[in-house]
């Protein structure tokens, strides 16, 4: 009975279908090394698992090497990126048997509403996701014509979000990020709801020149 209850609690707390005991153990260890403490598992995607820390940041443990390289490159630019997530610490996990090889400590963003998610995926995902010409296309009147003259709620929202989306593209271009996995599950609002922020900057490995900065390493 006691064990059952413990298991039930663990499942409730850690959503153990996604987060295994090993995942939690690794996340706790990495957080500790970084002077952080895991508050709770947040969510997972196809490459990585994200945890909220007590200081209000997100620790992501991922198998996406490109995301690591981009984060490593961008983590130099502290405090001036507005629409790409700010990184605090990035590095490699040294392990014999754990599939996820990289960690990234970053800011946490606030979730989008369902209407914002639907709108982004319906109107903007096709234009930007894995598209090397995202900058030309997001500024191309013809391509974005269908969102003009709004009358439905979704189209109104598409117009409202347009300047935020352009700002994200501008920062991607500035940092020479050629393609991204642009969709609603990879973005959120910053703490004052001033900027829409992209946080999962993975994509296509051959496009990235690995940085020659020293790589932080944590043994797990």
Under the rule (CB under 5 A), what is the footprint of Mg ion? 45, 186, 200
Q: Rank residues 91 and 188 by Cβ distance to ligand ADP and give the closer one.
A: 188
State the DSSP code for 121: I
33 torsion bin: left (phi>0), alpha (psi -120 to 50), beta (else): alpha
Question: CA neighbours within 13 Å on the CB side: how many for 162?
Answer: 18
Is residue 178 within 8 Å of 39, Cβ to Cβ? Answer: no
Is residue 170 within 8 Å of 152, Cβ to Cβ? Answer: no
195 is a site residue for ligand ADP (CB under 6 A): no
Q: Which does 58 bind (CB under 5 to 8 A by kind): ligand ADP, Mg ion, none?
A: ligand ADP
Q: Which does 91 bind (CB under 5 to 8 A by kind): ligand ADP, Mg ion, none?
A: none
The distance of closest approach from Cβ of residue 220 to Mg ion in the complex, given in angstroms and rounded to an integer, is 22
81 is a site residue for ligand ADP (CB under 6 A): no
List helix spans (H) across the chain. 2-14, 21-33, 65-74, 114-119, 125-128, 134-138, 153-174
69 is a site residue for ligand ADP (CB under 6 A): no
- Mark the segment that binds ligand ADP (CB under 6 A) among 18-26, 45-53, 92-100, 143-151: 45-53
The residues that bridge with 129 in the sheet, in sequence order, are: 180
> Which two tokens mark 218?
């944590």
Q: Rank residues 50 and 158 by Cβ distance to Mg ion and give the closer one.
A: 50
CA 138, 78, 65: angle at the middle one, nearest 5?
Answer: 70
129 is a site residue for ligand ADP (CB under 6 A): no
The distance of closest approach from Cβ of residue 186 to Mg ion in the complex, given in angstroms and rounded to an integer, is 4
47 is a site residue for ligand ADP (CB under 6 A): yes
Q: Which residues bind ligand ADP (CB under 6 A)?
A: 42-48, 50, 58, 60, 62, 64, 85, 106, 108-109, 185-186, 188, 199-200, 202
């Amino acid at each position: 009975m006691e064990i059952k209850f413990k298991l039930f609690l663990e499942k409730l707390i850690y959503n153990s279908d996604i987060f295994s005991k090993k995942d939690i153990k690794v996340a706790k260890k990495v957080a500790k090394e970084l002077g952080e403490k895991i508050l709770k598992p947040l969510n997972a995607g196809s490459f990585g698992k994200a945890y909220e820390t007590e200081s209000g940041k997100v620790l992501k443990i991922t198998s996406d090497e490109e995301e690591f390289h981009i984060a490593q490159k961008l983590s130099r630019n502290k405090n001036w990126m507005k629409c790409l997530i700010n990184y605090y610490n990035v590095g490699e996990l040294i392990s014999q048997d754990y599939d996820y090889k990289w960690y990234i400590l970053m800011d946490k963003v606030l979730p989008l509403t369902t209407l914002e998610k639907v709108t982004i995926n319906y109107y903007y995902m096709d234009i930007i996701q894995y598209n090397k010409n995202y900058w030309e296309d997001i500024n191309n009147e013809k391509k974005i014509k269908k969102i003009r003259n709004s009358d439905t709620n979704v189209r109104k929202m598409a117009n409202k979000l347009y300047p935020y989306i352009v700002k994200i593209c501008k920062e991607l271009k500035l940092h020479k990020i050629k393609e991204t996995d642009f969709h609603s599950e990879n973005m959120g609002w910053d703490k004052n709801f001033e900027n829409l922020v992209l946080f999962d900057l993975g994509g296509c490995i051959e496009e990235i020149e690995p940085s020659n900065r020293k790589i932080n390493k944590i043994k797990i």
